[in-house]
A and B are shown apart, each in its own frame.
Chain A
């Protein structure tokens, strides 16, 4: 079955540490996205990518970095520069990058800063 796999499901980080969240898809989708989900707020876009080796900042990119070396993979690094990283992170993909395309989401990664 095609889908998106995120790992780890839960992650704890000490202040000052960088952590990397994995996202892999086997849907052959061109576009991939990272969203952050906080209680009481809508999903906020961190980064997105339309093709390999290209990505664009979303609304809240500061303190995050991404890479897109393979079509299937779009890892997110939460750096020590992100001042409030505790959140639920969702990776998604779609056929194209237009907002009119249906998104397929991964099950999410919950990051907690100790």
Chain B
């Protein structure tokens, strides 16, 4: 079966750095997305990785290792508004999206 694993919840301190991991086992791989979702709101696109390596976008970076079936989202200089759920989604061999359950990130002052 197809499976995506993310930690259920993480806590970090304002101003710090946090890394949210995503491991996947899917039938094929055609890319990986990260979305941010504030409670009760729409998920919004953060990043897309299809090649190995690190993609940096301001305070947020996303890393992919296809050989290890692994990605992480790195958030720097954490702000209170970063409190949200972070969803990992993998595109399989049929170009279907497989979603992880999301990681709820709690930022403390």
Contacts and interface: CB of A to CB of B under 8 A. Distances in A.
Contacts of B55: none
Interface string B78-89: 000000000101
Contacts of A17: none
Contact of A105 (B44, B48, B94): B44
Contacts of B45: 102-104
A59 B41 CA distance: 23
Interface residues of A, number: 20
A1 B48 CA distance: 24
B74 interface: no
Contacts of B100: 42
Given A40-B8, A99-B91, A100-B31, A106 B42 contact: yes
15 contacts: A41-B101, A42-B98, A42-B101, A43-B89, A43-B99, A44-B99, A98-B95, A99-B30, A99-B92, A99-B96, A99-B97, A100-B31, A100-B91, A100-B95, A108-B42
A88 B35 CA distance: 17
A90 interface: yes
Interface of A: 4, 40-45, 88, 90, 98-100, 102-108, 110
B95 to A, nearest CB: 4
Contacts of A110: 40
Contacts of A108: 40-42
